[in-house]
Amino acid sequence: MATLNQLVIGASIGAVLLLIALGLTFTFGQMGVINMAHGEFIMAGAYTAYLLQPLVGTQSVLVALPVAFAVAGVLGLILERLAIRHFYGRPLDTLLLTWGISLILQQVARDIFGAPNVQVRAPGWLTGGLDLGGVRLPYNRVFIMVLAVGCVVAIWLYLTRMRHGRRMRAVMQNRQLAAVSGVATERVDQLTFFIGSGLAGVAGVALTLIGPVGPTLGTNYIVDAFLVVVAGGLGQLRGAVIAAFALGILNSFVEFWVDNGASFAKVVVFAVIIAFLQLRPQGMFVVRTRALS
Amino acid sequence: MLTVQGLDVAYGRAQVLFGVDLVAPGGSLVCVMGRNGVGKTTLLKAIMGVLPVRAGRVSFAGEDITGLKTHERVRRGLGYVPPGHETFPQLTVAENLQVAAEAAGQVSQGAVDEALDLFPALPALLKRRAGFLSGGQQQQLAIARALVSRPKMLLLDEPTEGIQPSIILEIEEAVQRLHSELGLAILLVEQYLDLALRLADRFVILDAGEVVRAGDRSDLRDPSVHSLLSV
């Protein structure tokens, strides 16, 4: 029974990782940008929920989700316009640049909200849980999973059914051909940044349901999210889904089985991913066509 | 319709084009010829704004387009088929065409149908991913993709290079039809003299980044032309 409880916890962490990794995998797949400041969009989303709480009251989480999406999305857009776009095609410089911005944003949060963690109170219907013969399904964790699944389905529909999503896939697959087909690639880049950062903001709101909010909230998750991107295959929706849940669940089980397992779980997760990448350096899924051979 | 004046293009410090001039009147088929590496592809990329221009100007339909972005040039009526049968490999054939049609502003099923009409092999493949088509089919898709925006002028970069012979004929016929029946202006990069003799109204020969000969089709028969094209 404890095993199943652990599965629920792991899957909900996996769901959060997935929301974070989606943005990373799109910005990397489309623009070749490794965005180290992505974690700070999570933080921005979480603090958005914190600020909305006194204004909106007990149901603030529901309001916070769309608002955090917009806030984090606009932050991402500003970052792209002001800084990152001047560094396209220079991945190492982008890495340093976004890392620096990440530190700045953390300090800004520290100055505004203070260094100690703050709490966001979950609405009543998200506290407690459902008992199924000894297996406990905490409502907040179920909510997070539903949220992540909903976001993935929405993204999938966007990419496959909608005009702008189709355009985004075209730019991801062949930027120059998209431009000579009449696609305004810069606009598509901006939109990708907006959506990717917005999803990180949503992840931030989800994290307020299971823990405190602090200036380094994003840092705790960004490395794992990068692991999801690498293991899942760059720019691959399917790979990201599988890798995120596998990572979250593996992590939660090792933490449970070993005393003081938090650090040990990290070791195990890293070892597993290193071993996996030895077998499949390109990640779980890759684009394979005649065109690339 | 398309005028290129004194065009200089460079990749970093390596200059590739030196003061290239070119005129392609409306409805004409102009062939850009020359050996490998003389700057033919670079010229087309510069006209499309894919490569930045160091000096000179490009004007199209009476407007200076030298400073415009690539997608704005497409909106003005330039269509471009890059070398090497490029597609969006993970999109279906239908989606490949849709992306271009939607980007052109008006989503017109008529333009898509017209483009498909030109290549009878494509309609059966609409649901297939472009990356899994043969090279020849990909090239037909690439040309169709460039046509769905209803360009006033089509830039074709070696459309028959590395394509199986049966499809080369279909592509040649399609180019012929676009030019003579539909009156589309075409700028064609081509290495082979016999093909140029069959299709072109006018020609330009590049050598080491400069225009060394230009003239009408009849001038192509001059023996000195052969020496400029043979390796």
The CATH number given to whatever domain includes residue A101 is: 1.10.3470
Pairing of strands B55-60, B2-11: antiparallel
Which position has the higher pLDDT, A30 or A151?
A: A151
**Summary mean pLDDT of chain A:** 89
Q: What is the pLDDT of residue A287?
A: 59
Q: By CA distance, what is A174's nearest residue in B?
A: B88
Pairing of strands B153-157, B78-81: parallel
Residue B227 covered by a domain: no
A190 interfaces chain B, CB cutoff of 8 Å: no
H-helix segments, A57-184: 60-82, 91-113, 139-161, 163-173, 175-180
Whether the pLDDT of residue A98 is over 90: the answer is yes
Whether the pLDDT of residue A289 is over 60: the answer is no
**What is the token pair recorded at A89?**
């095609």
CA distance to partner chain A, nearest, from residue B222 (Å):
36
Q: Which domain holds residue A7?
A: 2-292
Count up the domains in chain B and report the number.
1
Strand partners, B215: B203
Whether the pLDDT of residue B106 is over 70: the answer is no
Amino acid sitting at position B34: G
**Whole-Å CA distances, B166 to A38, B117, B176, B191:** 52, 18, 16, 19
Whether the pLDDT of residue B157 is over 50: the answer is yes
B89 interfaces chain A, CB cutoff of 8 Å: yes
B9 interfaces chain A, CB cutoff of 8 Å: no
Whether the pLDDT of residue A232 is over 50: the answer is yes
Which position has the higher pLDDT, B79 or A5?
A: B79
Whether the pLDDT of residue A293 is over 70: the answer is no
**Whole-Å CA distances, B99 to A188, B87, B116, B219:** 13, 11, 15, 41
Contact B99 A167 (CB under 8 A): yes
Identify the CATH number of the domain in which residue B140 sits.
Answer: 3.40.50.300
Indicate the residue of A163, A173, A179 with minimum beta-carbon distance to B91: A173
Residue B228 covered by a domain: no
Which position has the higher pLDDT, A2 or A221?
A: A221
pLDDT-derived band at A203, boundaries 50, 70, 90: very high
Which position has the higher pLDDT, B231 or A248?
A: A248
Contact A173 B104 (CB under 8 A): no
Q: Please compute the mean of the pLDDT values over residues B179-194 and round it to a whole number.
A: 90
**Summary mean pLDDT of chain B:** 91
3-state DSSP call for residue A86?
Answer: helix
Indicate the residue of A163, A181, A289 with minimum beta-carbon distance to B145: A181
- Report which DSSP code applies to A123: P
A118-174 pLDDT, tens digit each: 999 888 888 888 888 778 889 999 999 999 999 999 999 999 999 999 999 999 999
pLDDT-derived band at B212, boundaries 50, 70, 90: very high
Q: What is the pLDDT of residue A292?
A: 42
Contact A289 B69 (CB under 8 A): no
Interface predicted TM-score (ipTM) of this complex, two decimals: 0.92
A293 interfaces chain B, CB cutoff of 8 Å: no
**What is the token pair recorded at B130?**
């472009």
Contact B70 A180 (CB under 8 A): yes
Contact A180 B102 (CB under 8 A): no
Indicate the residue of A182, A287, A290 with minimum beta-carbon distance to B74: A182
CA distance to partner chain B, nearest, from residue A15 (Å):
27
Q: What is the pLDDT of residue A285?
A: 76
B17-33 pLDDT, tens digit each: 999 999 999 999 999 99
Q: What is the pLDDT of residue B79?
A: 95
Q: Please compute the mean of the pLDDT values over residues B2-16 and round it to a whole number.
A: 93
Whether the pLDDT of residue B195 is over 90: the answer is no
pLDDT-derived band at A290, boundaries 50, 70, 90: very low
Whether the pLDDT of residue B207 is over 80: the answer is yes
Contact A174 B50 (CB under 8 A): no
What percentage of residues in chain A have a pLDDT greater than 70?
A: 97
A181 chain-B contacts, CB cut-off 8 A: 74, 99-100, 103, 145-146, 149
Cα(B123)–Cα(A22) distance, integer angstroms? 34
**H or E, element range at B199:** helix B193-199
Weakest-pLDDT range from A121-130, A143-152, B47-56, B87-96: A121-130
Count up the domains in chain A and report the number.
1
A175 chain-B contacts, CB cut-off 8 A: none
Which position has the higher pLDDT, A281 or B118?
A: B118
Q: What is the pLDDT of residue B231?
A: 67
Which position has the higher pLDDT, A287 or B116?
A: B116
Residue B52 covered by a domain: yes
Q: Whole-angstrom distance between the N-terminal and C-terminal Cα of chain B?
A: 32
Residue B99 covered by a domain: yes
> Residue A89, by phi and psi: left (phi above 0), alpha (psi -120 to 50) or beta?
left
B50 chain-A contacts, CB cut-off 8 A: 176, 179-180
Whether the pLDDT of residue A85 is over 80: the answer is yes
Q: What is the pLDDT of residue A291?
A: 41
Weakest-pLDDT range from A53-67, A251-265, B87-101: A251-265
Whether the pLDDT of residue B55 is over 50: the answer is yes
CA distance to partner chain B, nearest, from residue A126 (Å):
41
Q: Which domain holds residue B95?
A: 2-221
